[in-house]
């Protein structure tokens, strides 16, 4: 199971990371990077834990439970039926607690993702934090999220710890029912004292795998909460071309913005009816204050985002009718944040240039 778990998690990480490469820029702009990273690390690790350890314990408990049930029915059918009376109660209690713990584990993973997002943003922007003397404010923000994580994690752990005492109570109730029923059957001559002693022993053995299965449900709920977040990311719609998208073969460089309107959020326009015409070989500078829309124009030209209305044409061809890979191969961009790949013997490692502006 350890080998199976590691292979499954390896493939899951690979598929998840590959899916990230297909998602549009809008997805990353709307989410904290640390929160996305948390899904690749913490949530996947929860799935790994349940596969490596809890799953084998669950199989062992199920086989043990089935074996005990077969034996008690071979000994005495009426006593066996009485022994199984507590199983519906066990199922109902486990289901009730599991429903609440799953919500608690889901909230814990979400809060942990927010904490990781805050850490990633703070570490990445440490120069900005120090330049604007925001150390105390940053620590205060971290403390709020950290305290929230402590609260939700403590609440779900306390709730999960009720499972053991509840199962012990149900098991003891089952033993009492078996002993009382066995005594009555012995008086009626329907069971021997030896059978009663055997059933009391098997009732204890019956409760042990039930208790183990109930306890494992907490670990399973934690893994399911992580799996929900992982597959939520896997289900994100990738960046796709139009079915009839054309290849962009040769580019002269005639660029036209025709009454372009765009906003990152609905109802908050950034560009309003912007029109411009750049002829081949012409040099154009976009100048304006922060938030004027300079970067937005570059994002629309490269189709990191699509216009809300209007059109952008290159050599008379609407960029929305062009394959995105072809379009971006024909454009040269020099971004503010330099990002390059350093090749070593053990592979390629993306690096961000220190102090890049």
**Per-residue model confidence as pLDDT tens digits over 256-309:** 999 999 988 877 888 888 898 999 888 888 888 887 888 888 888 888 888 889
Name the range with the highest mean pLDDT among 11-25, 66-80, 180-194.
Answer: 11-25
The encoded tokens of residue 24 equal 């549009």
Q: Tens digits of per-residue pLDDT, 55-72? A: 777 788 888 888 888 888
Indicate the CATH number of 2-234 among 1.20.1560.10, 1.10.1740.10, 1.10.357.10, 3.40.50.2000: 1.20.1560.10
Identify the three-state secondary structure at position 215. helix
Q: What is the pLDDT confidence band of residue 353, given thresholds at 50, 70 and 90?
A: very low
What kind of architecture, by CATH, is found in domain 255-352?
Answer: 3-Layer(aba) Sandwich (3.40)
Q: Mean pLDDT lowest for which of 33-37, 79-83, 336-340? A: 336-340
The encoded tokens of residue 228 equal 């929900």
Q: Kindly give, in sequence order, each residue whose CB lies less than 8 Å from that of residue 274, ignoring residues fewer than 6 positions away.
A: 257, 259, 260, 261, 293, 297, 310
Give the pLDDT confidence score for residue 145 in this predicted structure.
92
DSSP state, residue 291: T
The residue extents of the domains of the chain are 2-234, 255-352
Strands (DSSP E) contained in the chain are 255-262, 271-278, 309-314, 317-318, 339-344, 347-352
Indicate if the pLDDT at residue 88 is higher than 90: no
Q: What is the pLDDT confidence band of residue 242, given thresholds at 50, 70 and 90?
A: confident
239's torsion region: left (phi>0), alpha (psi -120 to 50) or beta?
Answer: beta
User: For the chain, first and last CA: distance in Å?
Assistant: 49
């Amino acid at each position: 199971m350890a080998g199976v778990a590691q292979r499954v998690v390896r493939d899951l990480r690979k598929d998840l990371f590959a899916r990230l490469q297909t998602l549009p820029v809008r997805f990353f702009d709307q989410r904290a990077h640390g929160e996305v990273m948390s899904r690749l690390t913490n949530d996947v690790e929860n799935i790994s834990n349940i596969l490596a350890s809890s799953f084998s314990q669950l199989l062992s408990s199920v086989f043990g439970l089935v074996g005990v049930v077969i034996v008690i029915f071979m000994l005495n059918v009426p006593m066996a039926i009485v022994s199984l009376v507590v199983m519906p109660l066990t199922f109902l209690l486990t289901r009730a607690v599991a429903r609440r713990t799953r919500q608690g584990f889901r909230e814990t993973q979400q809060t942990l993702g927010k904490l990781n997002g805050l850490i990633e943003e703070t570490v990445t922007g440490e120069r900005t934090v120090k330049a604007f003397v925001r150390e105390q404010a940053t620590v205060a923000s971290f403390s709020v999220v950290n305290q929230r994580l402590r609260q939700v994690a403590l609440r779900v752990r306390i709730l999960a710890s009720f499972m053991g005492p509840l199962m012990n109570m149900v098991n003891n109730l089952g033993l009492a029912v078996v002993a009382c029923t066995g005594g009555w059957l012995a008086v009626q001559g329907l069971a021997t004292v030896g059978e009663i002693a055997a059933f009391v022993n098997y009732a204890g053995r019956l409760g042990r795998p039930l208790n183990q299965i109930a306890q494992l449900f907490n670990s399973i709920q934690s893994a399911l909460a992580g799996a929900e977040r992982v597959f939520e990311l896997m289900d994100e719609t990738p960046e796709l071309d139009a079915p009839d998208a054309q290849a962009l073969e040769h580019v002269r460089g005639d660029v036209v913005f025709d009454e372009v309107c765009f906003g990152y959020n609905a109802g908050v326009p950034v560009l309003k009816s912007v029109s411009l015409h750049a002829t081949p070989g012409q040099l154009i500078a976009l100048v304006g204050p922060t938030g004027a829309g300079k970067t937005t124009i570059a994002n629309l030209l490269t189709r990191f985002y699509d216009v809300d209305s209007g059109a952008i044409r290159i050599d008379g061809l609407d960029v929305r009718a062009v394959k995105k890979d072809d379009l971006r191969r024909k454009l040269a961009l020099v971004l503010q944040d330099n990002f390059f790949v350093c090749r070593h013997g053990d592979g390629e490692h993306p690096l961000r240039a220190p102090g890049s502006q």
